A = this chain, B = another copy of it.
Amino acid sequence: MTIPLRLGLAGLGTVGIGVVKIVQAHAELIARRAGRPVEIVAVSASSRKKNRSADISAYAWEDDPVALARRGDVDVLVELIGGENGPAKALVETALANGKDVVTANKAMLARHGQTLAEAAEAAGRALRFEAAVAGGIPVIKALAEGLAGNAIRRVMGVMNGTCNYILTRMESTGLPYETVFEEARQLGYLEADPSLDVDGIDAGHKLSLLAAIAFGCQVDFDAVHLEGIGAVSIDDIRLARDMGYAIKLLGVAQMTGRGLEQRMTPCLVPEAHPLAQLQGGTNMVVIEGDAVGQIVLRGAGAGEGPTASAVMGDVIDIARGLRLPVFGQPAAGLVAAPPAAVSAAAPWYLRMTLIDKPGALARIATALGDSGISIDRMRQYGHEGAHAPVLIVTHKASSDDIRHALERFEDTGVLVGAPVALRIEDV
Protein backbone atom coordinates (compact mmCIF):
# COMPACT_ATOMS: atom_id res chain seq x y z
CA MET A 1 0.00 0.00 0.00
CA THR A 2 2.66 2.50 0.95
CA ILE A 3 5.42 1.41 -1.42
CA PRO A 4 5.53 4.16 -4.04
CA LEU A 5 5.68 3.49 -7.74
CA ARG A 6 8.71 5.36 -9.04
CA LEU A 7 8.78 6.86 -12.51
CA GLY A 8 11.70 7.75 -14.74
CA LEU A 9 10.52 10.31 -17.25
CA ALA A 10 12.29 10.61 -20.60
CA GLY A 11 11.24 13.66 -22.56
CA LEU A 12 10.08 16.94 -21.04
CA GLY A 13 8.21 18.41 -23.96
CA THR A 14 4.51 19.24 -23.87
CA VAL A 15 3.37 15.80 -22.75
CA GLY A 16 6.23 15.22 -20.32
CA ILE A 17 5.53 18.48 -18.55
CA GLY A 18 1.85 17.54 -18.49
CA VAL A 19 2.75 14.35 -16.67
CA VAL A 20 4.89 16.27 -14.16
CA LYS A 21 1.99 18.62 -13.48
CA ILE A 22 -0.51 15.81 -12.88
CA VAL A 23 1.85 13.90 -10.59
CA GLN A 24 2.50 17.06 -8.60
CA ALA A 25 -1.05 18.38 -8.48
CA HIS A 26 -2.84 15.12 -7.73
CA ALA A 27 -0.38 13.19 -5.56
CA GLU A 28 -2.95 12.45 -2.90
CA LEU A 29 -5.81 11.64 -5.30
CA ILE A 30 -3.62 9.32 -7.35
CA ALA A 31 -2.32 7.53 -4.25
CA ARG A 32 -5.91 6.89 -3.17
CA ARG A 33 -6.93 5.60 -6.57
CA ALA A 34 -3.75 3.65 -7.31
CA GLY A 35 -3.48 2.22 -3.82
CA ARG A 36 0.06 3.59 -3.52
CA PRO A 37 1.87 6.87 -4.16
CA VAL A 38 3.19 7.58 -7.64
CA GLU A 39 6.44 9.57 -7.70
CA ILE A 40 8.80 10.89 -10.32
CA VAL A 41 12.39 10.12 -9.29
CA ALA A 42 14.43 10.99 -12.36
CA VAL A 43 14.03 12.82 -15.65
CA SER A 44 15.92 13.30 -18.88
CA ALA A 45 15.56 15.70 -21.77
CA SER A 46 17.72 17.30 -24.42
CA SER A 47 18.35 20.47 -22.42
CA ARG A 48 18.52 20.75 -18.67
CA LYS A 49 18.46 24.52 -18.60
CA LYS A 50 15.37 25.12 -20.69
CA ASN A 51 12.68 27.23 -19.10
CA ARG A 52 9.77 24.91 -18.24
CA SER A 53 6.31 25.53 -16.83
CA ALA A 54 6.80 22.94 -14.08
CA ASP A 55 9.43 22.63 -11.39
CA ILE A 56 11.64 19.60 -12.00
CA SER A 57 14.37 20.50 -9.53
CA ALA A 58 13.39 17.75 -7.10
CA TYR A 59 14.10 15.00 -9.62
CA ALA A 60 17.43 13.41 -10.46
CA TRP A 61 18.68 14.43 -13.90
CA GLU A 62 20.16 12.15 -16.53
CA ASP A 63 21.76 13.61 -19.63
CA ASP A 64 21.42 10.25 -21.35
CA PRO A 65 17.82 8.97 -21.33
CA VAL A 66 19.02 5.39 -21.55
CA ALA A 67 20.61 5.87 -18.15
CA LEU A 68 17.07 6.28 -16.75
CA ALA A 69 16.33 2.74 -17.85
CA ARG A 70 19.22 1.41 -15.81
CA ARG A 71 18.51 3.21 -12.56
CA GLY A 72 17.74 0.95 -9.64
CA ASP A 73 15.23 3.45 -8.27
CA VAL A 74 13.01 3.51 -11.39
CA ASP A 75 10.06 1.09 -11.60
CA VAL A 76 8.38 2.51 -14.67
CA LEU A 77 10.06 4.15 -17.62
CA VAL A 78 7.84 6.77 -19.26
CA GLU A 79 9.07 7.32 -22.82
CA LEU A 80 7.95 10.65 -24.28
CA ILE A 81 10.84 11.34 -26.63
CA GLY A 82 9.16 10.10 -29.80
CA GLY A 83 10.65 8.93 -33.07
CA GLU A 84 10.49 5.44 -34.44
CA ASN A 85 14.12 4.54 -33.92
CA GLY A 86 17.00 6.21 -32.16
CA PRO A 87 17.01 6.94 -28.44
CA ALA A 88 13.34 6.10 -27.84
CA LYS A 89 13.66 2.53 -29.04
CA ALA A 90 16.99 1.94 -27.31
CA LEU A 91 15.52 3.33 -24.14
CA VAL A 92 12.44 1.13 -24.20
CA GLU A 93 14.49 -1.97 -24.99
CA THR A 94 16.92 -1.21 -22.19
CA ALA A 95 14.10 -0.54 -19.73
CA LEU A 96 12.40 -3.85 -20.49
CA ALA A 97 15.70 -5.70 -20.33
CA ASN A 98 16.25 -4.14 -16.91
CA GLY A 99 12.87 -5.26 -15.61
CA LYS A 100 11.10 -1.92 -15.85
CA ASP A 101 7.52 -1.45 -16.96
CA VAL A 102 7.20 1.00 -19.84
CA VAL A 103 4.57 3.59 -20.70
CA THR A 104 4.95 5.36 -24.02
CA ALA A 105 3.11 7.76 -26.32
CA ASN A 106 5.26 6.74 -29.29
CA LYS A 107 2.97 5.61 -32.10
CA ALA A 108 5.70 5.65 -34.77
CA MET A 109 7.94 3.33 -32.76
CA LEU A 110 5.13 0.92 -31.98
CA ALA A 111 3.78 0.95 -35.54
CA ARG A 112 7.24 -0.11 -36.74
CA HIS A 113 8.51 -2.25 -33.89
CA GLY A 114 5.37 -3.12 -31.93
CA GLN A 115 5.65 -6.87 -32.39
CA THR A 116 9.32 -7.07 -31.36
CA LEU A 117 8.81 -4.78 -28.39
CA ALA A 118 5.68 -6.64 -27.27
CA GLU A 119 7.59 -9.93 -27.39
CA ALA A 120 10.40 -8.36 -25.38
CA ALA A 121 7.96 -6.97 -22.79
CA GLU A 122 6.13 -10.25 -22.40
CA ALA A 123 9.38 -12.25 -22.20
CA ALA A 124 10.47 -9.89 -19.42
CA GLY A 125 7.10 -10.13 -17.71
CA ARG A 126 6.69 -6.34 -17.87
CA ALA A 127 3.95 -4.05 -19.07
CA LEU A 128 4.34 -1.98 -22.21
CA ARG A 129 1.42 0.42 -22.37
CA PHE A 130 0.58 3.02 -24.97
CA GLU A 131 -2.84 4.59 -24.40
CA ALA A 132 -1.35 8.01 -25.15
CA ALA A 133 -0.17 6.86 -28.58
CA VAL A 134 -3.69 6.71 -30.00
CA ALA A 135 -6.30 9.47 -29.96
CA GLY A 136 -4.76 11.51 -27.14
CA GLY A 137 -6.91 11.58 -24.04
CA ILE A 138 -9.57 9.15 -25.25
CA PRO A 139 -9.16 5.85 -23.36
CA VAL A 140 -9.62 3.87 -26.56
CA ILE A 141 -6.94 1.20 -26.06
CA LYS A 142 -8.54 0.37 -22.75
CA ALA A 143 -12.02 0.26 -24.26
CA LEU A 144 -10.92 -2.00 -27.09
CA ALA A 145 -8.52 -4.33 -25.27
CA GLU A 146 -10.45 -4.56 -22.01
CA GLY A 147 -13.98 -3.19 -21.93
CA LEU A 148 -15.02 -4.76 -25.23
CA ALA A 149 -12.90 -7.92 -24.90
CA GLY A 150 -16.04 -10.08 -25.09
CA ASN A 151 -16.70 -8.98 -28.66
CA ALA A 152 -15.48 -10.16 -32.01
CA ILE A 153 -14.56 -6.76 -33.44
CA ARG A 154 -16.06 -6.08 -36.83
CA ARG A 155 -14.56 -2.75 -37.68
CA VAL A 156 -12.58 0.04 -36.07
CA MET A 157 -12.78 3.52 -37.54
CA GLY A 158 -11.40 6.82 -36.49
CA VAL A 159 -10.60 10.43 -37.12
CA MET A 160 -7.27 10.40 -35.34
CA ASN A 161 -5.27 13.31 -36.67
CA GLY A 162 -6.57 16.54 -35.25
CA THR A 163 -4.53 18.68 -37.61
CA CYS A 164 -6.12 17.12 -40.69
CA ASN A 165 -9.56 17.49 -39.19
CA TYR A 166 -8.80 21.09 -38.33
CA ILE A 167 -7.72 21.77 -41.92
CA LEU A 168 -10.78 20.09 -43.47
CA THR A 169 -13.31 21.74 -41.16
CA ARG A 170 -11.58 25.10 -41.46
CA MET A 171 -11.65 24.85 -45.26
CA GLU A 172 -15.38 24.25 -45.06
CA SER A 173 -16.13 27.04 -42.59
CA THR A 174 -14.01 29.68 -44.37
CA GLY A 175 -14.13 28.54 -47.99
CA LEU A 176 -10.37 28.94 -48.14
CA PRO A 177 -8.33 26.51 -50.27
CA TYR A 178 -6.19 23.74 -48.82
CA GLU A 179 -2.90 25.55 -49.35
CA THR A 180 -4.02 28.62 -47.40
CA VAL A 181 -5.41 26.67 -44.47
CA PHE A 182 -2.35 24.43 -44.43
CA GLU A 183 -0.20 27.55 -44.07
CA GLU A 184 -2.46 28.85 -41.27
CA ALA A 185 -2.12 25.54 -39.44
CA ARG A 186 1.64 25.67 -39.81
CA GLN A 187 1.77 29.16 -38.36
CA LEU A 188 -0.44 28.10 -35.46
CA GLY A 189 2.01 25.32 -34.67
CA TYR A 190 -0.51 22.58 -35.41
CA LEU A 191 1.73 20.74 -37.86
CA GLU A 192 4.52 18.30 -37.09
CA ALA A 193 8.04 19.43 -38.01
CA ASP A 194 7.57 17.11 -41.00
CA PRO A 195 4.02 18.04 -42.07
CA SER A 196 3.68 14.93 -44.24
CA LEU A 197 3.28 12.94 -41.00
CA ASP A 198 0.00 14.79 -40.57
CA VAL A 199 -1.39 15.59 -44.00
CA ASP A 200 -0.31 12.38 -45.73
CA GLY A 201 -2.03 10.33 -43.06
CA ILE A 202 1.13 8.71 -41.72
CA ASP A 203 0.59 9.68 -38.09
CA ALA A 204 -3.05 8.60 -38.18
CA GLY A 205 -2.02 5.43 -40.05
CA HIS A 206 0.39 4.56 -37.23
CA LYS A 207 -2.50 4.81 -34.78
CA LEU A 208 -4.82 2.76 -36.95
CA SER A 209 -2.28 -0.06 -37.23
CA LEU A 210 -2.09 -0.26 -33.43
CA LEU A 211 -5.86 -0.41 -33.05
CA ALA A 212 -6.06 -3.08 -35.77
CA ALA A 213 -3.54 -5.28 -33.97
CA ILE A 214 -5.62 -5.21 -30.80
CA ALA A 215 -8.96 -5.52 -32.54
CA PHE A 216 -8.06 -8.46 -34.75
CA GLY A 217 -5.32 -10.22 -32.82
CA CYS A 218 -2.75 -9.68 -35.54
CA GLN A 219 0.77 -8.33 -35.67
CA VAL A 220 1.08 -4.60 -36.19
CA ASP A 221 1.56 -4.05 -39.89
CA PHE A 222 1.84 -0.36 -40.66
CA ASP A 223 3.28 -1.02 -44.13
CA ALA A 224 -0.02 -2.60 -45.09
CA VAL A 225 -2.03 0.53 -44.28
CA HIS A 226 -3.28 2.10 -47.49
CA LEU A 227 -2.52 5.81 -47.04
CA GLU A 228 -3.97 8.76 -48.90
CA GLY A 229 -3.51 12.23 -47.52
CA ILE A 230 -5.81 15.22 -47.57
CA GLY A 231 -3.75 17.27 -50.02
CA ALA A 232 -5.98 16.29 -52.94
CA VAL A 233 -9.22 17.31 -51.19
CA SER A 234 -10.47 20.54 -52.69
CA ILE A 235 -12.92 23.05 -51.32
CA ASP A 236 -15.17 22.06 -54.25
CA ASP A 237 -15.25 18.48 -53.05
CA ILE A 238 -16.07 19.57 -49.51
CA ARG A 239 -18.97 21.68 -50.77
CA LEU A 240 -20.32 19.16 -53.23
CA ALA A 241 -20.16 16.43 -50.61
CA ARG A 242 -22.05 18.64 -48.15
CA ASP A 243 -24.69 19.34 -50.81
CA MET A 244 -25.32 15.63 -51.00
CA GLY A 245 -25.43 15.21 -47.22
CA TYR A 246 -21.88 14.13 -46.49
CA ALA A 247 -18.77 15.47 -44.78
CA ILE A 248 -15.24 14.64 -45.92
CA LYS A 249 -12.99 13.27 -43.18
CA LEU A 250 -9.55 11.71 -43.13
CA LEU A 251 -10.98 8.43 -41.89
CA GLY A 252 -9.09 5.36 -40.80
CA VAL A 253 -10.85 2.04 -41.23
CA ALA A 254 -9.63 -1.39 -40.19
CA GLN A 255 -11.64 -4.54 -40.71
CA MET A 256 -10.99 -8.23 -41.12
CA THR A 257 -12.49 -9.54 -44.33
CA GLY A 258 -12.51 -12.86 -46.16
CA ARG A 259 -9.71 -11.46 -48.28
CA GLY A 260 -7.51 -10.47 -45.36
CA LEU A 261 -7.02 -7.48 -43.12
CA GLU A 262 -8.12 -4.20 -44.61
CA GLN A 263 -6.42 -1.08 -43.21
CA ARG A 264 -6.84 2.26 -44.87
CA MET A 265 -6.42 5.90 -43.93
CA THR A 266 -8.00 7.96 -46.66
CA PRO A 267 -10.31 10.93 -47.16
CA CYS A 268 -13.83 9.50 -47.09
CA LEU A 269 -17.35 10.82 -47.27
CA VAL A 270 -19.44 10.08 -44.18
CA PRO A 271 -23.17 10.81 -43.81
CA GLU A 272 -23.68 14.07 -41.97
CA ALA A 273 -26.02 12.58 -39.35
CA HIS A 274 -23.20 10.41 -37.99
CA PRO A 275 -21.07 11.81 -35.14
CA LEU A 276 -17.98 11.36 -37.32
CA ALA A 277 -19.30 13.96 -39.75
CA GLN A 278 -19.98 16.43 -36.94
CA LEU A 279 -16.46 16.37 -35.58
CA GLN A 280 -15.00 19.88 -35.67
CA GLY A 281 -11.43 21.11 -35.36
CA GLY A 282 -8.76 19.12 -33.59
CA THR A 283 -11.07 16.73 -31.79
CA ASN A 284 -10.59 12.98 -32.34
CA MET A 285 -13.18 10.25 -32.61
CA VAL A 286 -12.87 6.50 -32.63
CA VAL A 287 -15.73 4.18 -33.57
CA ILE A 288 -15.57 0.53 -32.49
CA GLU A 289 -18.03 -2.03 -33.81
CA GLY A 290 -18.36 -5.30 -31.96
CA ASP A 291 -20.66 -8.22 -32.68
CA ALA A 292 -22.32 -7.99 -29.26
CA VAL A 293 -22.03 -4.32 -28.37
CA GLY A 294 -22.89 -2.79 -31.73
CA GLN A 295 -21.34 0.61 -32.35
CA ILE A 296 -19.43 2.46 -29.64
CA VAL A 297 -18.31 6.04 -30.33
CA LEU A 298 -15.56 7.71 -28.29
CA ARG A 299 -14.76 11.39 -28.66
CA GLY A 300 -12.22 13.69 -27.06
CA ALA A 301 -9.11 15.79 -27.47
CA GLY A 302 -6.58 14.00 -29.64
CA ALA A 303 -3.51 15.89 -28.55
CA GLY A 304 -2.21 18.52 -26.15
CA GLU A 305 -0.53 18.62 -22.78
CA GLY A 306 -3.42 17.67 -20.52
CA PRO A 307 -5.22 15.05 -22.63
CA THR A 308 -2.09 13.14 -23.62
CA ALA A 309 -0.70 13.29 -20.09
CA SER A 310 -4.05 12.02 -18.82
CA ALA A 311 -3.64 8.93 -21.02
CA VAL A 312 -0.07 8.40 -19.81
CA MET A 313 -1.24 8.61 -16.20
CA GLY A 314 -4.07 6.15 -16.82
CA ASP A 315 -1.44 3.62 -17.87
CA VAL A 316 0.82 4.49 -14.95
CA ILE A 317 -2.03 4.05 -12.46
CA ASP A 318 -2.95 0.70 -14.03
CA ILE A 319 0.62 -0.43 -13.45
CA ALA A 320 0.54 0.88 -9.88
CA ARG A 321 -2.61 -1.16 -9.35
CA GLY A 322 -0.84 -4.28 -10.58
CA LEU A 323 -2.65 -4.64 -13.90
CA ARG A 324 -0.54 -6.69 -16.30
CA LEU A 325 -1.95 -7.39 -19.74
CA PRO A 326 -0.33 -8.63 -22.92
CA VAL A 327 0.75 -5.56 -24.89
CA PHE A 328 -1.84 -5.99 -27.65
CA GLY A 329 -4.48 -7.63 -25.49
CA GLN A 330 -3.39 -11.22 -26.16
CA PRO A 331 0.02 -12.91 -26.04
CA ALA A 332 2.35 -11.46 -28.66
CA ALA A 333 3.60 -14.91 -29.64
CA GLY A 334 0.09 -15.81 -30.76
CA LEU A 335 -0.56 -12.74 -32.87
CA VAL A 336 -0.94 -13.75 -36.50
CA ALA A 337 0.62 -12.03 -39.48
CA ALA A 338 -2.67 -11.24 -41.19
CA PRO A 339 -2.49 -11.08 -44.99
CA PRO A 340 -3.39 -7.58 -46.15
CA ALA A 341 -6.57 -7.33 -48.22
CA ALA A 342 -5.53 -6.18 -51.68
CA VAL A 343 -9.01 -4.90 -52.48
CA SER A 344 -11.14 -2.95 -50.06
CA ALA A 345 -14.71 -3.92 -49.27
CA ALA A 346 -17.28 -2.61 -51.74
CA ALA A 347 -18.77 0.82 -51.05
CA PRO A 348 -20.43 3.62 -52.96
CA TRP A 349 -17.94 6.11 -54.35
CA TYR A 350 -17.96 9.82 -55.00
CA LEU A 351 -16.37 10.67 -58.37
CA ARG A 352 -15.75 14.21 -59.50
CA MET A 353 -14.26 15.10 -62.82
CA THR A 354 -14.20 17.80 -65.46
CA LEU A 355 -15.09 16.88 -69.02
CA ILE A 356 -14.40 18.69 -72.23
CA ASP A 357 -17.67 20.10 -73.43
CA LYS A 358 -18.46 18.10 -76.52
CA PRO A 359 -21.26 15.75 -77.49
CA GLY A 360 -20.90 12.22 -76.16
CA ALA A 361 -18.35 13.08 -73.46
CA LEU A 362 -20.62 12.06 -70.62
CA ALA A 363 -21.71 8.94 -72.48
CA ARG A 364 -18.11 7.81 -72.73
CA ILE A 365 -17.67 8.17 -68.97
CA ALA A 366 -20.90 6.30 -68.29
CA THR A 367 -19.79 3.55 -70.65
CA ALA A 368 -16.40 3.28 -68.94
CA LEU A 369 -18.18 2.87 -65.61
CA GLY A 370 -20.52 0.26 -67.03
CA ASP A 371 -17.62 -1.65 -68.56
CA SER A 372 -15.99 -1.70 -65.14
CA GLY A 373 -19.11 -3.22 -63.62
CA ILE A 374 -20.05 -0.04 -61.78
CA SER A 375 -23.57 1.33 -61.82
CA ILE A 376 -24.49 4.95 -61.20
CA ASP A 377 -26.67 5.97 -58.26
CA ARG A 378 -26.73 9.74 -58.80
CA MET A 379 -25.14 12.06 -61.30
CA ARG A 380 -25.03 15.85 -61.51
CA GLN A 381 -23.63 18.00 -64.23
CA TYR A 382 -22.90 21.56 -63.15
CA GLY A 383 -22.96 24.80 -65.07
CA HIS A 384 -20.11 24.98 -67.57
CA GLU A 385 -16.84 26.71 -66.85
CA GLY A 386 -16.02 27.87 -70.33
CA ALA A 387 -15.51 24.78 -72.46
CA HIS A 388 -15.42 22.46 -69.46
CA ALA A 389 -18.27 20.64 -67.73
CA PRO A 390 -17.87 19.64 -64.06
CA VAL A 391 -19.56 16.30 -63.40
CA LEU A 392 -20.32 14.58 -60.14
CA ILE A 393 -21.19 10.90 -59.91
CA VAL A 394 -22.17 8.80 -56.91
CA THR A 395 -21.85 5.12 -57.73
CA HIS A 396 -23.59 2.12 -56.29
CA LYS A 397 -21.32 -0.23 -54.35
CA ALA A 398 -18.04 -0.93 -56.07
CA SER A 399 -14.72 -2.37 -54.94
CA SER A 400 -11.58 -0.26 -54.94
CA ASP A 401 -10.36 -2.47 -57.79
CA ASP A 402 -13.40 -1.70 -59.91
CA ILE A 403 -12.94 2.00 -59.27
CA ARG A 404 -9.25 1.86 -60.16
CA HIS A 405 -10.18 0.05 -63.35
CA ALA A 406 -12.80 2.65 -64.21
CA LEU A 407 -10.37 5.51 -63.59
CA GLU A 408 -7.93 3.91 -66.01
CA ARG A 409 -10.66 3.61 -68.62
CA PHE A 410 -11.62 7.26 -68.03
CA GLU A 411 -8.12 8.21 -69.22
CA ASP A 412 -8.66 6.34 -72.47
CA THR A 413 -11.85 8.27 -73.23
CA GLY A 414 -9.95 11.41 -74.05
CA VAL A 415 -12.72 13.58 -72.60
CA LEU A 416 -11.23 14.28 -69.15
CA VAL A 417 -9.71 17.61 -68.15
CA GLY A 418 -7.23 17.00 -65.34
CA ALA A 419 -7.39 14.04 -62.99
CA PRO A 420 -10.69 12.81 -61.59
CA VAL A 421 -11.24 12.70 -57.82
CA ALA A 422 -12.47 9.41 -56.33
CA LEU A 423 -13.48 9.28 -52.66
CA ARG A 424 -15.03 6.34 -50.88
CA ILE A 425 -18.36 6.83 -49.12
CA GLU A 426 -17.97 4.88 -45.90
CA ASP A 427 -21.08 3.18 -44.55
CA VAL A 428 -20.95 4.25 -40.94
Residue numbers in B under 8 Å from A294 (CB-CB): 137, 300-301, 304, 306-307
Interface residues of A in 15-57 (CB under 8 A from B): 18, 21-22, 25-26, 29-30, 32-35
Q: Which residue of B lies closest to A297 (CB)?
A: B299
**A–B complex contacts, Cβ < 8 Å, 21 sampled:** A18-B292, A22-B151, A26-B150, A29-B217, A30-B149, A32-B217, A137-B290, A137-B294, A142-B143, A142-B146, A147-B314, A149-B317, A278-B278, A293-B301, A293-B310, A294-B307, A296-B298, A297-B297, A297-B300, A299-B299, A321-B323
Q: What's the minimum C-beta distance from A302 to chain B, rounded to whole angstroms? A: 11
Q: Which of A105-113, A159-167, A327-335 lies at the interface with chain B?
A: A327-335
Which 5 pairs from chain A and chain B are nearest by CB?
A: A139-B147, A150-B313, A137-B293, A293-B310, A292-B306
Let me know if A150 and B307 touch, CB within 8 A: no
Indicate the member of A139, A143, A304, A334 with the most B CB atoms within 10 Å.
A139
Q: Which residue of B lies closest to A301 (CB)?
A: B294
Tell me if A324 is interfacial: C-beta within 8 Å of chain B.
yes
Let me know if A296 and B300 touch, CB within 8 A: yes
Q: Which residue of B lies closest to A335 (CB)?
A: B32
Q: How many angstroms between the C-alpha atoms of A150 and B317 in the bound complex? A: 7
Q: How many angstroms between the C-alpha atoms of A323 and B297 in the bound complex? A: 25
Counting every copy of the chain, the complex holds 2
- Across the interface, A329 reaches (CB within 8 A) one of B33, B143, B151, namely B33
Tell me if A398 is interfacial: C-beta within 8 Å of chain B.
no
Tell me if A427 is interfacial: C-beta within 8 Å of chain B.
no
Residue numbers in B under 8 Å from A30 (CB-CB): 149-150
The interface of chain A, by Cβ under 8 A from chain B, is 18, 21-22, 25-26, 29-30, 32-35, 131, 137-139, 142-143, 145-152, 217, 275, 278, 290-301, 304, 306-307, 309-314, 316-318, 321-326, 329-331, 334
Residue numbers in B under 8 Å from A131 (CB-CB): 147
Residue numbers in B under 8 Å from A310 (CB-CB): 148, 150-151, 290, 292-293
Q: How many angstroms between the C-alpha atoms of A22 and B148 in the bound complex? A: 12
Residue numbers in B under 8 Å from A292 (CB-CB): 18, 21-22, 137, 306-307, 309-310, 313
Residue numbers in B under 8 Å from A330 (CB-CB): 32-33
Residue numbers in B under 8 Å from A321 (CB-CB): 323, 325
Q: How many angstroms between the C-alpha atoms of A293 and B139 in the bound complex? A: 10
Q: What's the minimum C-beta distance from A260 to chain B, rounded to whole angstroms? A: 18
Residue numbers in B under 8 Å from A145 (CB-CB): 33
Residue numbers in B under 8 Å from A324 (CB-CB): 322
Q: Which residue of B lies closest to A296 (CB)?
A: B300
Residue numbers in B under 8 Å from A325 (CB-CB): 321
Indicate the member of A146, A294, A312, A325 with the most B CB atoms within 10 Å.
A146
Answer whether A306 and B291 are a contact pair too, CB < 8 Å, given A149-B34, A152-B29: yes
Q: How many angstroms between the C-alpha atoms of A292 and B132 in the bound complex? A: 13
Let me know if A150 and B331 touch, CB within 8 A: no
Indicate the member of A22, A30, A143, A147 with the most B CB atoms within 10 Å.
A147
Q: What's the minimum C-beta distance from A130 to chain B, rounded to whole angstroms? A: 13
Q: What's the minimum C-beta distance from A50 to chain B, rounded to whole angstroms? A: 22
Let me know if A275 and B296 touch, CB within 8 A: no
Q: Which residue of B lies closest to A323 (CB)?
A: B323
Q: Which residue of B lies closest to A316 (CB)?
A: B150
Residue numbers in B under 8 Å from A298 (CB-CB): 296-299
Q: Which residue of B lies closest to A21 (CB)?
A: B292
Answer whether A139 and B148 are a contact pair too, CB < 8 Å, given A292-B307, A294-B300, A334-B32: yes
